[in-house]
Amino acid sequence: MPKLVFWIDVDNTLLDNDGIKDKQNEFLQAELGPELTKLYWDIYEEVREERSVVDIPLALERLRERVPQDKLDEQTYQHTLSMFHNYPFAQALYPHAIETVHYLSSLGTVVIVSDGDLVYQAEKIFNSNLAEAVEGHVMLFVHKQEHLDEIRQRYPADHWTVIDDKPQILFDIKKLMGDDVTTVFVRQGKYARESFPENYTPDMDINHIGDLQKYPGKRFWQQHDIASS
């Protein structure tokens, strides 16, 4: 039987990452105050610009290095670390995210393929019960587009379906893999209305991750020939 493998993203695909950031900001405002909270998010963006990926542990390290003890005592800093490392990620799952993963697992192998820093991102995936939902099929990279051959070798298939909220990632993968891949754009989070590069159109375009349960297995093998919603 031909084998189908799904690569599914995490942030703003299965988890409401924008909502997580809002909740974290509320905590930081209460714990650190507006000045240090602003500094943290400035460092967060600085790190993302440098590495082209979010790296929360590095941002927190730089916050500690730049703020003297009289403005940020060690106990407060440890409280802040604890908030990030013990965040209730399972509460931030999009509606029907787990059920959708289970549905896709009935059609093929589902692999979480996520990018970001390798420590915090792993905590997020395991503490949200997503790792269990995909039976431990998790691959983490700083930039996943640079590891497509590695992912394919680890999870060989006759066809792949990539599910992501970032137009650029879907475009990059489609450009490299062509008809071997079906690309699914999930319009959730801050990239929901972002335009696609070079007139690229994803093979499927959905508003919510749970919408994937509406589609039969054969749809994930096809290229643009069935309208999506």
3-state secondary structure 23-34: HHHHHHHHHHCH
Question: Is residue 197 very low, low, confident or very high in pLDDT (cuts 50, 70, 90)?
Answer: confident
Tokens standing for residue 14: 């299965």
CATH for 4-15+93-221?
3.40.50.1000
Per residue in 219-228, pLDDT (tens digit) is 999 765 433 4
pLDDT at 156 over 50: yes
The pLDDT score that the predictor gives to residue 130 is 97
The pLDDT score that the predictor gives to residue 51 is 86
The pLDDT score that the predictor gives to residue 225 is 45
Average pLDDT on 156-160 reads: 96
Average pLDDT on 185-199 reads: 88
Alpha-carbon gap, residue 106 to 192, rounded angstroms: 27
Domain ranges of the chain: 4-15+93-221, 17-89
Q: Where does residue 199 fall: left (phi above 0), alpha (psi -120 to 50 degrees), or beta otherwise? A: left
pLDDT at 117 over 90: no
pLDDT at 31 over 90: yes
CA angle 61, 139, 19 (to 5 degrees): 55
Alpha-carbon gap, residue 88 to 178, rounded angstroms: 38
Q: Percent of the chain having pLDDT more than 90?
A: 84
DSSP string, 157-207: -SEEEEEES-HHHHHHHHHHHGGGEEEEEE--GGGTTPPPGGG---SEEES
Q: For residue 47, give the H/E element and its range.
A: helix 34-51
The pLDDT score that the predictor gives to residue 228 is 40
The pLDDT score that the predictor gives to residue 155 is 97
Average pLDDT on 55-67 reads: 96
Distance of CA 57 to the CA centre of its chain: 17
pLDDT at 120 over 70: yes
The pLDDT score that the predictor gives to residue 227 is 39
Q: For residue 62, give the H/E element and its range.
A: helix 56-66
Amino acid, single-letter form, for residue 198: E
Which residue is listed with tokens 């943290």? 40
The residue ranking higher by pLDDT, 49 or 199, is 49
Which residues 6+ apart lie within 8 Å of 157 measured at CB?
3, 4, 5, 108, 109
Per residue in 70-91, pLDDT (tens digit) is 999 999 999 999 999 999 999 9
Alpha-carbon gap, residue 64 to 133, rounded angstroms: 35
**Helical spans, DSSP H, in 70-166:** 74-85, 97-105, 120-127, 130-133, 148-154
